[in-house]
């Protein structure tokens, strides 16, 4: 995925000429996410900000669905097949979000294990075993993340139910719900692309040193990839063992902090998805 989502960036919402402030807020939040530039190797900061933006988007959508005018318009809607479409995707979103959260939590714990091994420093075999376990989990995380990306792509290419609504507000709400769904697909694709970063292959000593000291591109480097490089440095760099261990520990602490933020972001997103689904169910049932 070279960019965040070219497909979602091309879509737009046609709002009623006299739109309520709540609809304007949704459009603003959508535009914020659409105008972001996401690389093929997103950083932890971009991932976290994407999750924050998605949560804010769902909160705005909830405000719109709470409006008496919206409640009345949707309760009178005759054709509600589009509701099944949205609700079906919401269930799959919850499943993907929950699985992604489990992946992140498991990887974070593995990072802690590697840190513990380095702190104990019981010998090269202990460190090697931790590094091997880390690499094994990285491969599993990459495989699982790619599987979820495939599921998201299938969702993104599904046909939508044709809606012929006379009421302009109902039509706008349906379009916005679909737009939020499309944006959710894009945000989760970004999260999973981050988690499925290519596993660094062994490289020469001088290439490794160059990558480690190149501060100019640090902000554009996937943090998971940087750990691969740092772990390799334990056996490749020419500095003392203590210096190498301290360097890797610093990298691992940073990565753990990033994953803590992402895990919290996924927790919040999961709750937002549940609230959105519950709100839509209540609205269409007339409660």
Span 1-41, pLDDT tens digits: 334 443 444 344 444 444 556 678 888 888 888 876 566 77
pTM (two decimals) = 0.82
Alpha carbon distance 201, 138 (integer Å): 13
Distance of CA 39 to the CA centre of its chain: 13
Token reading at 10: 């091309």
Q: How many Å apart are CA 10 and CA 81, to the nearest integer?
A: 25
**Residues 6+ positions from 83 with CB-CB distance below 8 Å:** 280, 284
Q: What is the pLDDT of residues 237-278, one digit of tens each?
A: 444 567 777 888 888 899 999 999 999 999 999 999 999 999
Work out the average pLDDT over 119-142: 77
For 76, other C-beta atoms within 10 Å of its C-beta total: 10
Question: What are the residues whose beta carbons fall under 8 Å from the beta carbon of 287, sequence distance 6 or more?
Answer: none
Mean pLDDT, the chain, as a whole number? 79
Interatomic CA distance for residues 44 and 50, integer angstroms? 10
Q: Which spans in the chain are helix H?
A: 6-10, 21-35, 44-66, 68-75, 81-120, 124-156, 168-195, 205-213, 223-236, 241-284
Q: How many CA atoms within 13 Å lie on the side-chain side of 18?
A: 1
Q: DSSP secondary-structure letter at 196?
A: T
Q: Supply angle C-alpha 262, 203, 246, rounded to 5.
A: 55
Q: Could you tell me the sign of the dihedral formed by the alpha carbons of 123, 128, 129, 130, in that order?
A: positive
């Amino acid at each position: 995925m070279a960019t965040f989502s070219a497909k979602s960036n091309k879509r737009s919402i046609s709002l009623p000429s006299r739109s309520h402030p709540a609809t304007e807020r949704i459009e603003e939040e959508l535009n914020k996410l659409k105008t972001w530039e996401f690389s093929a190797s997103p950083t932890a900061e971009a991932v976290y900000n994407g999750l924050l933006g998605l949560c804010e988007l769902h909160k705005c959508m909830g405000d719109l669905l709470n409006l008496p005018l919206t409640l009345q318009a949707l309760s009178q809607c005759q054709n509600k097949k589009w509701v099944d479409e949205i609700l079906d995707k919401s269930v799959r979103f919850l499943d993907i979000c929950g699985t992604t959260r489990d992946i992140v939590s498991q990887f974070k714990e593995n990072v802690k294990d590697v840190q513990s091994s380095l702190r104990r420093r019981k010998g090269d075999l202990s460190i090697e075993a931790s590094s091997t376990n880390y690499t094994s989990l990285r491969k599993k995380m990459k495989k699982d993340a790619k599987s979820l990306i495939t599921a998201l792509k299938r969702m993104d290419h599904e046909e939508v139910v044709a809606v012929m609504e006379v009421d302009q507000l109902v039509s706008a709400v349906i379009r916005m719900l679909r737009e939020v769904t499309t944006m959710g697909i894009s945000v989760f694709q970004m999260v999973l692309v981050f988690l499925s970063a290519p596993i660094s292959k062994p490289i020469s000593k001088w290439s490794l040193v160059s990558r480690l000291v190149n501060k100019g591109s640090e902000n554009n480097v996937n943090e998971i990839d940087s750990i691969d490089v740092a772990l390799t440095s334990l056996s490749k760099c020419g500095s003392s063992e203590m210096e190498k261990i301290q360097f890797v520990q610093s990298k691992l602490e940073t990565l753990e902090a990033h994953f803590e933020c992402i895990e919290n972001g996924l927790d919040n997103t999961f709750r937002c998805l549940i609230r959105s689904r519950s709100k839509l169910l209540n609205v269409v049932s007339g409660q």
